Amino acid sequence: MRISNIKFTFWTVLTLSGFALAEVGSFVLPTLQNQTFVIRDEAYRAILAGLIFIYLATAVFSWFNEERREKYAKRAPFRFFIGLVLLTWDLLGTKFGLLHMPFFPGPSQITWVFVEEWEFLLSNLVYSLRLYAFGFFSGVLLGVGTGILIGWFVKANYWIMPVLKMTGVIPAVAWMPFALNIFPSSFLAGCFLVSMCAWFPIGFQTARGMQATQKAYFEVAQTIGGGRFYQLLHVAIPNALPSIFTGVSTANGLAFTTLVMTEMMGARGGLGYYINWAKAWSSYYKVYAAIIIMAVLFSVILKIIGAIQSRALIWQRGLTSSVEERS
């Protein structure tokens, strides 16, 4: 559907107006609550200004491409709603103090943490990224390898699949007492737990994808002289790729949850550790700051996985387009 210049301008103004209202409210309205500490608004206002600039630049960039126009306009009402939510939150939490403190601080208190403790937050973020990277990637390798064995070799399916089904349903956190005693450090124990929770869904989905490969594909490969190894690499594994990425997406959410719980219960760093530390001092605005970082980090990881999936399964676009045309 083609979006005219007037409509696109309207969606652009709608996108920017929500954040602009939040910015104006932060500047104009006075703070009426009884302040137990000085409230710093600079970081919150800078973030709002940054959002306005980013979405304005995105609108200019999307102006010359119809596909980008449509994508930008589609999310405009949601962005406007987010701006209104920020304005309401600022009024209730920061300006008027109607939300119960210290459990529900305003956005100004939360965003100032990024300025006040950026070094401590950064060190914990790096710790979480390291733990996640080592644990999740080892879980992906282990899961894909196990799934290939189960899906390709009958004997492996006989011996490994029951073990996968029995151990896969056990929450990874349940292994924490054993992991902390077996491994020499809490970091390695956390990597093991993250790897365990990623292993089951990836291994199971990989095996299902390979076993669902149609026999006709193998017969075609045989007619052109492809042996067993050729059929594995060029038929079974490519056919299982959509299932593999389904398992990876599922495992990503489980791994991130396990990561945070591991850091809260035994690690010497990480965002989960930071939340526990802030909660001990009743600094709940710092807890919210860490939660925001987690949400952004998880969204970025999902984007990266989605980009890799789109690249690896680029052949599915043609199938989807042909189905849409026939319908």
Chain segment 131-144, per-residue pLDDT in tens = 999 999 999 999 99
Distance from C-alpha of 256 to C-alpha of 260, rounded to nearest angstrom: 6
User: What average pLDDT score do residues 102-121 get?
Assistant: 91
Rounded to whole angstroms, how far apart are CA atoms 157 and 173?
Answer: 26
Confidence of residue 203 (pLDDT cuts 50, 70, 90): very high
C-alpha distances out from residue 314 to 23, 249, 310, 318, 324, Å: 42, 17, 6, 8, 16
Query: Could you tell me where the DSSP H helices lie in 224-314?
Result: 228-231, 237-265, 271-280, 284-312
- Interval 17-33 mean pLDDT: 89
- Closest by Cα among 148, 123, 138, 121 to 255: 138
Least-confidence region, from 44-58, 118-132, 206-220: 206-220
Instruction: Yes or no: say if 23 and 49 are a contact pair by the CB < 8 Å rule.
Output: yes
C-alpha 238: how far from its chain's center? 25
CA atoms within 13 A of residue 85's CA, in its CB half-sphere: 6
Model confidence at 36, pLDDT cuts 50, 70, 90, reads: low
Averaged pLDDT of the chain: 88
* Short-list 11, 16, 92, 93, CA closest to 50: 16
151 and 236 Cβ atoms separated by less than 8 Å = yes
Taken in order of first residue, the domains within the chain and their CATH numbers are 5-115 (no CATH), 118-326 (1.10.3720.10)
End-to-end CA distance of the chain: 17
Whole-angstrom Cα distance, residue 267 to residue 286?
Answer: 19
pLDDT tens figures, 251-284: 998 998 899 888 887 778 899 999 999 988 888 9
Distance CA 19, CA 128 (A): 31
CB atoms within 10 A of CB 204: 21
Whether residue 106 is predicted with pLDDT greater than 70 in this model: the reply is: yes
- With 50 as the cut, is the pLDDT of residue 191 above it? yes
pLDDT at residue 34, as a whole number: 61
pLDDT value at 321 more than 70:
no
- Output the pLDDT for position 194: 93
Is residue 172 within 8 A of residue 200, CB to CB? The reply is no
What is the DSSP-derived secondary structure letter of residue 281?
T
State residue 325's pLDDT score: 47
